[in-house]
Structure 1
Amino acid sequence: MSNVKNYLILLSILFVSGSCISPPDNFPSTPEISFKDLNFSSSDGADSLILSINFKDAEGDLGLNPSDVDPPFNPVTFKRDNSGNLIVYSARPPEAPSFNPIDWVINPIVNNATVRDTVWVEQNEDHNNIFVRFFIKRNGVFTEFRWQDPPFFTTFNGRFPRIINGNEALPVEGSIQYSMLSFGWNSIFRNDTLRIDVEIQDRSLNRSNIVSSPEVTLNQIRRE
């Protein structure tokens, strides 16, 4: 399933009219979100789990473009030994994990040069701006389904693009439709009762509140 993980983003945005100096009192500097909808759509290819949320933000500094990869939005941090050297898989210390696509990167570009090796890294959570967690209900209790653990070694965290491309602070509200594509939704979750938690982050690294979907099964939210 981790080989087919993709995102489709649709944004619906309202720029609030009036002075930018005094945004409406109910527009927070930290993003505020609310749950809107959750749908499941199957197809001959990858199936889609489509999450929709509403948002409000006083400055409008939401979203990241593909070019936003400099700190603090860099994808990974390269782990180094006490001498400052990169730690490669062939000379990994005992505490290093076995190879997996989260902790190790093959032939990365470091300081504008390609390193022809497998290098130990730490994922930078601030590279993303939308964070999604899955929970399964068993015996009346929700337990997190951790995609980052074996055998998947992935997450469904991702990015939505900049809402305002300029640097002017503008209060905005709107909705985000976040479509998570995979071949494995039915085979993994089948008739399980699910809940999805989501939060977003602005470019000042302010995290929104966490909102949760209702308790659902895939069949209950299936959209033809």
Structure 2
Amino acid sequence: MRLPSKIQLFLIILLITGFGSCKKVKKFDNIPRIEYTSFTSIYNPDLEIYDRGVLQFYFEDGDGDIGLDNNDILPPFNPDSKYYYNLIITYFEMQNGELKEVPILWFNPETELYDTLTLSARIPNLTPNGVNKAISGEIQDTLFIYNFNSTYDTIKFEAFIIDRALNESNTISTPLIIR
């Protein structure tokens, strides 16, 4: 049985439209992966120094479980846990030709003591709606880069992210930064 030509044409157009409109599903590993994009230093005219900078990196994750909600404070994401922060950032200074991990100290006026400044952060929940949870994008984080207790001027950061399944991404590094 032969279909009339108008029906054949309609079916062909329908098939072409159907195949053409299908989104290609992105496939990423369920372990997050990140790539360094840039670091931009920010000048503070009041202090006449570069005291902050913006770290930007690309991320991708196959099951989209990147980020935490504000109420994610029960184990393993409780404040005393190593998983409380899901963006882990480490600060290094070039000291006598060698990179050394050092804490950034700041004076806490309430306690009148020096405290260690935490550079790590909590990425908000980025899980997309829908069936396909694969996600990719750019993340920016503003960091303090000036260690008032140090005379060294060359620094570097390392960073990685942790998803809600506690999978750790690869670690990225900034190039050396002169502050």
State TM-score, norm by structure 1. Answer: 0.58
User: 2:172: which partner in 1?
Assistant: 211
In 1, the alpha carbon distance for the partners of 2:95 and 2:151 equals: 13
User: CA, structure 1 residues 173+185, in 2 after alignment: closer, same or farther (shift >3 Å)?
Assistant: same
The answer (yes or no) to whether the contact 2:104–2:147 under 8 Å persists in 1 is no
Q: In the TM superposition, what is the alpha-carbon distance from 1:192 to its structure 2 partner? A: 1.3
State the alpha-carbon separation in 1 of the partners of residues 35 and 150 from structure 2. 25
Structure 1 contact 61–169 (Cα < 8 Å) conserved: no
CA deviation after TM superposition for structure 1 residue 152, in Å: 2.9
Aligned partners of 2:132 and 2:72: how far apart in 1?
A: 18
Three-state SS of the structure 2 residue aligned to 1:135 is strand
- Taking structure 1 as reference, are residues 62 and 186 closer, same or farther at Cα in structure 2, changes over 3 Å only? same
Structure 1 unmatched runs, 5+:
1-16, 77-123, 219-224
- Alignment partner, residue 72 of structure 1: 76
Question: Where do 1:1-150 residues align within 5 Å?
Answer: 17-19=23-25, 23-24=26-27, 27-43=28-44, 44=46, 47-76=51-80, 124-147=81-104
Letter in 2 for 1:67: N
Give the aligned partner of residue 187 of structure 1. Answer: 148
Shift of 1:190: 6.0
SS at match of 1:63: coil
Give, in whole Å, the separation in 2 of the partners of 1:212 and 1:143.
14
* Higher Cα radius of gyration: 2
Q: Please give the root-mean-square deviation of Cα atoms over the aligned residues, in Å.
A: 2.8
Aligned positions, number: 148
User: Which of 96, 118, 122 lines up with 1:159 in the alignment?
Assistant: 122
Distance change (3 Å), C-alpha of 1:36 and 1:188: farther
- Distance in 2 separating the partners of 1:40 and 1:189: 18
Deviation at 1:151, TM superposition (A): 3.9
User: For residues 70-116 of structure 1, what are the alpha-carbon distances to aligned partners after superposition, in whole Å with 9 as ceiling and x for unaligned?
Assistant: 2111112xxxxxxxxxxxxxxxxxxxxxxxxxxxxxxxxxxxxxxxx
2:160 corresponds to? 199
- In 2, distance between residues paired with 1:206 and 1:188? 35
CA displacement, residues 144-165 of structure 1 (integer Å, 9 cap, x when unaligned): 11248x9433321111111126
Displacement after TM superposition at 1:65 (Å): 1.6
* CA deviation after TM superposition for structure 1 residue 186, in Å: 6.3
| Structure-2 change in CA distance of 1:138 and 1:186 (3 Å) | closer
Q: Distance in 1 between matches of 2:79 and 2:127?
A: 22
Is the Cα contact below 8 Å between 2:93 and 2:152 reproduced in 1? no
* TM-score (normalised: structure 2): 0.71
Identity %: 28
Q: Structure 1 171/160 Cα, relative in aligned 2: closer, same or farther at 3 Å?
A: same
